[in-house]
Amino acid sequence: MTVLSCPFCGVRELSEFEFHKTLPNAGDDPLSATYFRINRVDDSQEYWQHVRGCRAWLQVRRNPSTGQVLEMILLGTRT
Amino acid sequence: MSLASPHYSAWALLRARLAGSGYWKPLWTGRALKNHYDVVIVGAGGHGLATAYHLARDHGIQRIAVLEKRLVGYGNVGRNTTIVRSNYLLPENHYFYEDALRRWGTLSRDLNYNVMYSPRGVVDLAVSDDEVPALARRGNALRLAGIDAELLDVAALERRYPEIAPRRARRFPLAAALVQARGGTVRHDAVAWGYARAASALGVDIIEDCEVTGVRVQAEVAQGVETNRGYVRAERILFATAGHTGMIGTLLGVPLPIETHLLQAMVSEPIKPFLHTVMVSVFPGHGETYISQSDRGGLVMGGHLDGFPSYTREGTWDRMQDVVEGAVDLFPQLGGVKIVRQWAGTNDMTMDGSPIIDRLRYNNVFLNAGWCYGGFKTIPASGAACATLVATGTAPDLIKGYALSRFASGHLLDEPGRGPFPVRL
């Protein structure tokens, strides 16, 4: 994984992006949301930000075993 | 000791010489997997093997198996930068890590295997005045706990470690350093091999190429583990799977406060001895570099995590560049030295940066995990304490703070104080 594709800026270097956190575990209670993670080997849902670019917040689905990006969209735009 | 591995001594060398070939045997024997054990340990890394050794030696448990998906020492015990130290700020941590450091001192004798503990000192450098009070605070906390720590100004630092004296103006001039003289390095592979040999000699079955795929449960009691070699009954199960602890959470259906991140390390071509200690330097806003010189002459380096969850065991180019830039900033004379190898390990990063040694979901299932990037240095203490927990069911005082319940009760052990984000720099 050396590049990521920003929905606004297109394909950019990985170093322009910053990982923020993985999506909290299923369940909305504050404890789970703060500390507990799903942490699957083949599917990770994450928040990233294009900090050294357009600064958009992004919702990313990746396969952490291969680094393959399955989906990268603007946060909050999933229909 | 069994026939598999003779006691190492000067006599053994002599006997081996007289006996000709065939005297030295494999360090641990390839025993067959049985179908029933008192304790099944999943993961033949440092923590799993050390726990097996202490269960057999201190608690007299006879039937122990260590199941390993790949090879003994394939994971983080063979991928770290071999640094041992106990200069942690929080009491729960520094007493535990100090226990480990004391055990490193005698481990070669205990295991009858040379793990090459080299107390060459660990030097934490500050590159701005703002960092000095934090170093002083940590040093004071350590000294109050009876652990050695010494705050040096730049002149004293350069006197003691002439190699750090600047060859040219630094981008980040040094401000001070906190030194732990008893810290240093240990030959990491030897730790895995030494524990495997000693455990095997005490009757522990070490089964490589055996992947655990499930846990069989009846009436809220774990009965045994499913493996690729069939079902194994177990009275108690311990998971010590480091970076793959997330998979254990999935297996047992329990969420864990763990994200899996990569930490990379690299080594340079061998050069003549010039660095006689372990240097650690954090460059605010840039990166971190820790560097030491191996006995073979290679400079072993590492830095921050790569920055996002990954199981790939490849490191990113950017982080490698950070680490090398930091090293060249500290030692400009290294500018022309080549990196010859680079690798990465998967780190089980907890949300407060401290480990978890506790029961997991069932009364007879235990977890030894969450070592973040500091697991190697704790292996002897973790093995002893975790064995006590598994054998007696009660956690010794030393690891009471590492209970999983701390995330619910709020008694977090957040050493850097940065909140539930393993990678926030």
DSSP B254-302: --BSEEEEEEEEEEEPP--S---SEEEEEETTTEEEEEEE-TTSPEEEE
Tens of pLDDT, residue by residue over B9-47, are 999 999 999 998 888 888 987 789 999 999 999 999 999
Pick the residue from chain A with its C-alpha nearest to B253: A38
Torsions phi, psi for B189 (to 5 deg): -60, -35
Is A15–B318 a contact, with Cβ atoms under 8 angstroms apart? yes
How confident is residue A22, by pLDDT bands cut at 50, 70 and 90?
confident
pLDDT beyond 50 at B392: yes
Q: How far apart are CA B313 and CA B323, in angstroms?
A: 17
The pTM is what? 0.95
**SS3 breakdown of chain A: % helix, strand, coil, rounded to 5?**
10, 45, 45
CB contact under 8 A, A39 and B244: no
Residue B123 and residue B376: Cα distance in Å, rounded? 18
The minimal CB distance from A35 to the residues B249, B250, B257 is found for: B257
List all residues 6 or more positions away from B20 whose beta carbon is below 8 Å from its beta carbon.
none
> Of all residues in chain B, what percent carry a pLDDT higher than 90?
85
Residue B2, pLDDT score: 46
- Amino acid found at A40: R
pLDDT grade for B424, boundaries at 50, 70 and 90:
low
CATH number of B32-118+184-257+351-425: 3.50.50.60
Are the Cβ atoms of A64 and B260 closer than 8 angstroms?
Answer: yes
Of B249, B316, B423, the CB nearest to A39: B249
pLDDT at B61 over 60: yes
Distance from CA of B306 to the nearest CA of A (A): 10
- Compute the CA torsion angle B345, B348, B352, B353 (nearest 10 deg): -30
CA B115 – CA B105 distance, rounded (Å): 10
CA nearest A63 in B: which residue? B310
Name which of B184, B71, B82, B176 is nearest B128 in CA terms.
B176
Chain B residues whose CB is inside 8 A of the A16 CB are none
- For B159-170, the pLDDT digits (tens) are 999 999 887 788
The DSSP call for residue B295 is: T
Side-chain half-sphere of A65: how many Cα atoms within 13 Å?
8
Helix (H, G, I), strand (E, B) or coil at B108: helix
Q: Residue type for B221, please?
A: V
A26 neighbourhood in chain B, CB within 8 Å: 255
H/E element holding A20?
strand A18-22
B257, B408, B421 ranked by CB distance to A21: nearest = B421
As a whole number of angstroms, the distance between CA B331 and CA B329 comes to 6
* Rounded alpha-carbon distances, angstroms, from residue B377 to B87, B192, B373: 11, 12, 10
Of B250, B257, B314, the CB nearest to A36: B257
CA–CA separation, B140 and B149 (whole Å): 8
Cβ within 8 Å, pair B309-A18:
no
Between CA B105 and CA B295 the distance in angstroms is: 18
Tell me the two tokens of residue B37: 């054990």
Q: Which one of A13, A16, A35 would you mutate to disrupt binding with B, by most B Cβ within 10 Å of its Cβ?
A: A35
Interchain pair B312, A2: CB under 8 A: no
Q: How confident is the model at residue A39 (pLDDT cuts 50, 70, 90)?
A: confident
Beta bridge partners of B301: B266, B291
Confidence (pLDDT) at B1: 41
- The CATH code belonging to domain A3-74 is 3.30.2270.10
Decide if pLDDT at B172 tops 90: no
Q: Which residues of B touch A (CB under 8 A)?
A: 244, 246-247, 249-250, 255-260, 307-312, 314, 316-318, 351, 407-408, 420-421, 423
Query: Could you tell me the pLDDT band of residue B143, with boundaries at 50, 70 and 90?
Result: very high
Residues 6+ apart with CB under 8 A from B353: B372, B413, B414, B415, B416, B422
Say yes or no: A61 contacts chain B, CB-CB below 8 A.
Answer: no
Which residues of B are less than 8 Å from A32 in CB distance? 255
* Cα gap B353→B318, rounded to integer Å: 23
Q: What is the mean predicted confidence (pLDDT) over B201-218?
A: 96
Nearest in space to B259 (alpha carbons), one of B370, B343, B166, B425? B370
Query: What is the reported pLDDT for B21?
Result: 84
Q: Binning pLDDT at 50, 70 and 90, where does residue A27 land?
A: low
**Which two three-digit tokens encode residue B351?**
């949300």
Answer whether A40 touches B (CB < 8 Å).
yes
A65-79, B75-89, B91-105, B203-217: which has the minimum mean pLDDT? A65-79
- Condensed to tens digits (0 to 9), the pLDDT of residues B74-124 reads 999 999 999 999 999 999 999 999 999 999 999 999 999 999 999 999 999
Measured in whole angstroms, the distance separating CA B20 from the mean position of its chain's CA atoms is 37
Select the residue of A26, A38, A67 nearest B310 (Cβ to Cβ).
A67
Of B244, B256, B310, nearest to A37 by CB-CB distance is B256
- Residue spans of the domains in chain A: they are 3-74
Arithmetic mean of pLDDT, B145-154: 96
Residue B222 contacts residue B229 (beta carbons within 8 Å):
no
* Dihedral over Cα of B239, B244, B247, B253: its sign: positive
- pLDDT tens across B281-308, in order? 988 777 899 999 999 999 999 999 999 9
- The predicted model gives B358-377 an average pLDDT of 95
Could you write out the DSSP letters of every residue in B303-361?
Answer: EEEEEEE--S----HHHHHHHHHHHHHH-GGGTTPPEEEEEEEEEEEESSS--EEEEES
Q: Which residues of B touch A40 (CB under 8 A)?
A: 246, 250
Instruction: Examine the pLDDT at B241 and tell me if it is beyond 60.
Output: yes
Q: Look up residue B51 and give its two tokens.
A: 């726990």
CATH number for the segment(s) B119-183+260-350: 3.30.9.10
Rg of chain A over Cα atoms, rounded to whole angstroms, equals 13
Cα–Cα–Cα angle for B407, B98, B345, rounded to 5 degrees: 65
Least CB–CB distance from A36: residue in B247, B255, B421: B255
How high is the pLDDT of residue B361? 94
Please count the other Cβ atoms lying within 10 Å of the Cβ belonging to residue B296. 8
Boundaries of every domain in chain B:
32-118+184-257+351-425, 119-183+260-350
Higher pLDDT pick, B419 / B384: B384
Taking each helix axis from N to C end, the angle separating B188-201 and B379-392, rounded to the nearest 10 degrees, works out to 30
Q: Which two tokens stand for residue B4?
A: 């598999």
Q: Is A35 on the interface with B (CB under 8 A)?
A: yes
CB B41 within 8 A of CB B20: no
The yes-or-no verdict on residue B374 having pLDDT over 60 is yes
A14 neighbourhood in chain B, CB within 8 Å: 316, 318
Q: How confident is the model at residue A79 (pLDDT cuts 50, 70, 90)?
A: low
CA angle B392, B393, B399 (to 5 degrees): 100
| Minimum Cα–Cα distance from B310: chain A residue | A64
- Average pLDDT of the residues in B212-220: 96
The residue of chain A with its CA nearest to that of B246 is A39
Which alpha helices (H) appear in A1-79, and where do they start and end? 30-35
Mean pLDDT, residues B332-338 = 92
Q: Is B239 helix (H, G, I), strand (E, B) or coil?
A: strand
* Distance from C-alpha of A5 to C-alpha of A58, rounded to nearest angstrom: 10
Closest residue to B246, CB basis, from A31, A32, A41: A41
Q: What is the ipTM of this complex?
A: 0.93
Q: What is the pLDDT of residue B245?
A: 93
- How many whole angstroms separate alpha carbon B397 and alpha carbon B405? 15
pLDDT, position B126: 95
In our burial notation (b when 16+ CB lie closer than 10 A, e otherwise), range B149-175 reads bbbbebeebbebbeebeeeeeeebebb
Report the residue of chain A nearest B250, measured CA to CA: A40
Average pLDDT score, chain B: 93
CA-based nearest residue in chain A for residue B260: A39
pLDDT band at B425; cut points 50, 70, 90: low
A–B interface: beta-carbon pairs under 8 A: 74
